[in-house]
Structure 1
Amino acid sequence: MLRYTLMRLGVLAGCLVVAWAAVYSGIFPRGFGASNFFWVVLLAMVISAPISWVVLRKERERASLQVAGRVDRMKADLDASRSQEDAAEAHSQAS
């Protein structure tokens, strides 16, 4: 999961550089006054989203499998804990 996050941040950083260059070279319009920084960041986020979606597909699926595995293990642990509690409760009621 950390690897996917770092890769996503890398794509965003690359897009930030490209968006900054495009705005300051006149390809994209500049923001108004002090909002130019936020305009460049917003533009980079909009550009990076579809790129990340396509380029990082395999890494996203790998991260998804890791998360699903953790959730399954947690569910199994909870079920085991519940069954132990039920058995202990049944044993104490039988006594």
Structure 2
Amino acid sequence: MLRYTLMRLGIFVGCLVVVWGLVYSGVVPRGLGASNGMWVLLLSLVISAPISFVVLRKERDRASEQIVQKVDRVKANLDANRSQEDVADDAARAQGAS
């Protein structure tokens, strides 16, 4: 998961550098007034999102599988704990009924 996040951040930073260069070289228009920094960030985000979606597909699938495995493990642990509580509760009720 950390690898996917770092790769996505790397794509964003790469797009940020390219957009910044294009804006300051005059190829892409500057923002309105003092909004130039926000313009560069938003344009970089809009460009990097579809690139990340296509380029990081396999890494995203791996991260998704890891998350599913962790969720399944947590569910299994919760079910095991619930079963232990049920056994302890049944034993306490059986002792109280005696």
TM-score when scaled to structure 1?
Answer: 0.96
Q: Which runs of 5+ in 2 are unaligned?
A: none
Tell me the equivalent position of 1:47: 47
> Letter of the aligned partner of 1:58 in structure 2?
K
Q: 2 CA distance for matches of 1:47 and 1:22?
A: 13
Tell me the residue number matched to 2:29. Answer: 29
Kindly name which structure, 1 or 2, has the bigger radius of gyration based on alpha carbons. 2
TM-score normalised by structure 2 residue count: 0.93
1:13-70 alpha-carbon deviations (Å, 9 max, x no partner): 0000111111122222101222101100000000000000000011111011111110
Amino acid at match of 2:34: A
Q: Alignment RMSD, CA only?
A: 0.7
Runs of 4+ off more than 3 Å: none
Number of aligned residue pairs? 95
Distance 2:91 2:33 in 1: 74
Partner-residue secondary structure (3-state), 1:34: coil
Letter in 2 for 1:21: G
Trace 1:1-95 onto structure 2 (pairs within 5 A).
Answer: 1-95=1-95
Q: Give distance in 2, aligned partners of 1:29 and 1:76.
A: 55
Aligned-partner Cα distance in 1 for 2:82–2:63: 29
